Structures are given as C-alpha cells and as structure tokens.
A and B are shown apart, each in its own frame.
Chain A
Amino acid sequence: MAATFQSSLYASRRRRNRISMGLAFAATAFGLSWLVLILAVLLWEGFSGLSLSVFTEMTPPPGSAGGLLNPIAGSLIMTTIAVLIGTPLGILAGTYMAEYGRYDRLTTVVRFINDILLSAPSIVVGLFVYEVMVAQMGHFSGWAGAVSLAVIVVPVVVRTTEDMLILVPDTLREAAASIGLPRSLMITKVAYRAARAGMVTGVLLAIARISGETAPLLFTALNNQFWSLNLNAPVASLPVVIFQFALSPYHDWQKLAWTGALIITLAVLALSIIARTLAVQRKTS
C-alpha cells in the first residue's frame, strides 16, 4: 500500500520534472526561433535590394530608383560626432567613479542615475534635445541629432569604464604610486592601459546602440531628402529614412527600407561581435 503510493508520487514528480524541462527546451527554441526568423526575413528582403547604387545614389522620389547615400553619410557623421562628444565625457565620469571617488556619496548617486539613463526611453532624450536645442535655435539640425545621440552614448561609456577600471588590480596602482607617479599619470598611463580592451568594448557597444536609434533623431535631425552635410540644417539618417520609407505606400521605398534595415543590422551585429571577442580576450588573457 505504502509502496504503491510512494511510486505514484515518484512517477508524478518525474512527470512534472519532464514536463517543465520540456518547457525549458521549448522556451529556448522559441526564443532562438525569433532571432532566426527576423534575420532570415531581413537577409531575404534586404539582399535582393542590395546593389552598388544603394551606396552611390541619393534617396529617390517615389517611383524612381535611387540609393541611400545621403542617409548613410548623415548617420556616419552624426554617430561620429556623438561618439566624439560622449566618449570623453563618459570616460572622465567613469574615471572619477572608479579612481577618485570610489566610495563617495557622489559616486553612488551618479551610478544610480546613470543606470536609469542607460534604460531611459530614448524618445524622451529626443524631446529634451528638442527643447534645449531645436526650440532655442528655431530649426532642426544635424548638431541637435548628434547631441541627442551623445546623450545616449554617455551612460553606456560611463558604465563600462567604471566596471573595467574597478577590475584593474590595486597592486598596479600601488606600484605606480610607489615609483612616485602622480595620480593623474597613474590613471592615464597605467589604469587606462590595463583596462583598454574593456573600455574600447564599451565604446563599440555604444556605437552599436546609437546606430539603430531612431526615436531621438525624429525631431532633432529630422530628415533631408537631398545631399547635405550642413550640420546646421536637417540631416538625413538611416533609421529615420527607414521609418519614413517603410510606412510609405510606395514599393520602391519599402524595398530601400529593407535594404537599409539590413545594412544597419549587419553593422550593429558586427560591432557587438567584435566587442564580445575583445571582452573574451580580456577575460582569458
């Protein structure tokens, strides 16, 4: 009697275990299948439109052939400026948090706020830059777009810089101090060098993050159908053009939107894979 009860309990426990482990397999397959599905469609739709003219011609009016040269150039320029503004700021802030004020109250507060900025809705950043720059200057501009991207770069770089500098062994710092190196030199010559791979990873991740950002550009850089490198005027960017073209009723435009989407995704995936390999090298070395 007792034995049969025991074995039925055992059987039901085993059954429950098998079901839940089956669910775990299924969940993983479910998650991975989305990645495969999205990439497959993207490659299929994007590659068929990929040609040299995409990189050499301007965005066309509806109904005619063209390329994506002006949005690609606009994206590259604004991303570069955003990184040039955001990276030094982020590295300096991260340096303070890891080197000078590791146990400060200021550091605790900044870390908390920075983590919130890291996940804050990017469209709010767009509104902020609109209020601060576009509304004040009276027109949309590439500068405003670059600044709003920079606001997104900063928290990413702050976070990785701090994390990486904290990993640098204190013995290195002590060694530097013991030969009489001033603290600023110790940081720039020793700590930065030891944490370099990780910090580069952070910058790459930040670039990956902003190269697909659309929301903050919508009402800062706006869009521009023509070739323009004037940063005081609206500048086209790849994500905004994808947004506009994908929602248009014209088939040519939708085709170009897919191609642009493929270009962005490949760039972002390449960046994050490079960043990951760098991070792995650092861990194993």
Chain B
Amino acid sequence: MQPTGRPPVVDVALQGRGIAVADQMDRAKVLQRLRLGDAAYRHLTRAAAITVLVILGGIIISLVWGSLPALRAFGISFLYEEAWNPVTEKFGAIAPIYGTIVTSVIAMLIAVPVGLFIAVFLTELCPMWLRRPVGIAIELLAGIPSIIYGIWGLFVFAPFLQQHVQPFIISLFGEIPVLSNLFAGPPYGIGILTAGLILAIMVLPFVTSISRDVFEAVPPVLKEAAYGLGCTTWEVCRYVVLPYARVGVIGGVMLGLGRALGETMAVTFVIGNAHRISGSLLAPGTTISATIANEFTEAVGDLYTSALIALGLILFVITFIVLAAARLMLMRLNARVGG
C-alpha cells in the first residue's frame, strides 16, 4: 500500500490546503471532492472559451437586428445611394464607404513601403545594440491611443498641411490633367488626404513589426548563400528575403488594413465629416466609423439610428473579411514554419 516512512504526497498537498487526512475514508472523500472540482474547472474554462464565440455571435446578431429597419426601408440601394439626409430620412452609405476605403488605401500606400524598409533596416542594417530600442520605439507608436493622434492631427498636423504642404501640392499639380482634379479645391487642412496620412502613421507600426518578425524567420542559410554568391544587401532583401516572407508580409499588411478600416477617433478629428463624394483628395469627406462616432448620440428617430447601425454592420463585414484573410495567411505561415 503506502510506502512506509513518509506520508503520501497527496496527503501533504491536502494538509497544505488545511484539509486533515485522518484515514482512508476521509482521503477517498477528499479525492472525490477534488475530482469534482477538477471537472468543474474544466467546464468553467470551456464555458469561458465558448463565451468568446458568443461575444462574436452577439455582435453580429445585434448589428443585424439593429440595422433591420434601415435595410427594410432602403433595401440594397442603401449600399450605393449617396444621399444622407436626417431631415427627410433618406440614407445611403456610399459616401462613408468611399471615404473609408480611400483613406485606408492612402494609408497602406504609404505605410507598406515605409514599413518594409524599416523592417529591412531592423533586420539587415541596424547594429545589434540599436535593434531593440528602435523596435520598441516603433512599437510605442502603436501603443499611443488613437485619440492622441486625433488631437495632434487636428491642432498640429492639419494646420501644417494647410499652410505649407497643400498650397504647394495644388500649384504643383494644377496644370497636370488627372492630378489637378485629384488635388483640386482650397486647402482646408482637414480632409480625406489628411485622414489617410494620419492613418498611415498609425498603421506603420503594425506593418513594421510583423514584417520584421517574418524577415527574422527567414533561415540565415538562405541569406548567407545569396551573400556568398556576391549579392548586395538590397538583392538579398529583394530576391531572397521578400519572396520567402511574402505570405507573412501580406498577412501583416492585411492586419494593418483591418486596423485602418476600423479606426475611429483619429479619423473623426481630421476628416471634416462631409457626406459627399468628392473627386479631390483635399476635400472633406467622411468614413463609416467617423459618421457613427459623430452622429450616433444625436440621432433622433429609429430609422436614423438604424441606418447608423447598418453602417456599423457594413464596417464589421468588411473588416471581418480582411482580418479573417490576414489570419488565415498568417496561420498558413505558422504551419509552414512549425512543420
């Protein structure tokens, strides 16, 4: 039975918890209780895991439920109508959808090349002792709350653009056919372009840190082989590192895109909140999230509220697709690295 000389470890553990173990019967009882506790804990954690799914389900159901009145009233035309008139209760989502997509595209056009180059710097050029501090500094950019970007954009960045950059752009492209339309109109400071630039700064850390991580995962042997052939650093990055890390980089870019699409506060401050589609990037516009943030508490009438929730649903569907694609890519990458 029990080894003589010292008590069984279970008894020691039980005594440590203040449970006296007198004889076999007691021990059986205590062990039974532990077994029950074990099962209870297992079910508790399982329930918590399922709660995560319930949260997502709840979000989807509540958004669909809330947007039903608007979708019933406008049908599919909600997606392509431009009118947004709370007085006559005519609502269409195309202007915010357009603004959301255009600002995000501007952000990605800037953040992706810059982020990739920073990742190249961090993995190939940067001296070892500087890597951590620079990496942390870039990641601190991601930690700054979005409202800080908003207030900074409104009071510092937008006036700077208005006074120094936009007049220059307008006069520079004024004579060129297509670009003159793209950069037409008075320099407001706030507008689609400003929002896109702020988003670019916000998304930059995401693109950078994921690119750096996947660049670092490239086997050194591959790079060394290329260097051994006489490749320059650029050629190694362009023809060895980047192709190897392609899936991961695309995943990181999509993740950043997901952030940019859903970003609210930074954009709300600098977009100008105008429900119209303008050919000029300098003109004020709006995005889905900015519209909701600005108008939701002031929305009177069920249809208005419902139209805003429907906008939220559209945003959620778009970001869900983008983020899901990003995660699937990164998962595939992990499977490859792991296996």
Contact = CB atoms under 8 A, between A and B. Distances in A.
Contact of A96 (B46, B121, B315, B324): B46
Interface stretch (B18-26, B167-175, B258-266, B276-284): B258-266
A93 B51 contact: yes
Interface string A174-186: 0000011111110
Contacts of B118: 24, 27-28, 31
The A interface is mostly helix, strand or loop, or mixed, namely: helix
A218 interface: yes
Contacts of A213: 145
Nearest to A112: B327
Contact of A92 (B45, B146, B259, B323): B45
A121 B319 contact: yes
Interface of A: 13-14, 16-17, 20-21, 23-28, 30-32, 34-35, 37-38, 41-42, 45, 88-90, 92-93, 95-97, 99-101, 106-107, 109-110, 112-117, 119-125, 127-128, 130-132, 135, 151, 154-155, 158, 179-185, 187-188, 208, 211-215, 218-219, 222, 239, 242-243, 246-247, 254, 257-258, 261, 264-265, 268-269, 272, 276
B145 A265 contact: yes
A74 B5 CA distance: 60
Contacts, number: 274
Given A119-B259, A131-B66, A258-B151, A183 B144 contact: no
A181 B9 CA distance: 9
B199 interface: no
Contacts of A110: 49-50, 52-53
B229 to A, nearest CB: 12
A187 B331 CA distance: 27
Contact of B9 (A35, A179, A258): A179
B152 A42 contact: yes
Given A123-B312, A128-B63, A106 B58 contact: no
Given A32-B137, A124-B262, A211-B145, A116 B327 contact: yes
B235 A13 contact: yes
A119 B234 contact: no
Nearest to A181: B13
29 contacts: A13-B232, A16-B234, A20-B237, A24-B118, A25-B121, A27-B121, A32-B138, A34-B201, A35-B140, A38-B144, A89-B48, A89-B51, A112-B324, A120-B316, A121-B261, A121-B263, A123-B289, A127-B296, A127-B312, A128-B62, A179-B13, A180-B8, A184-B38, A212-B148, A214-B147, A219-B296, A261-B151, A272-B140, A276-B136
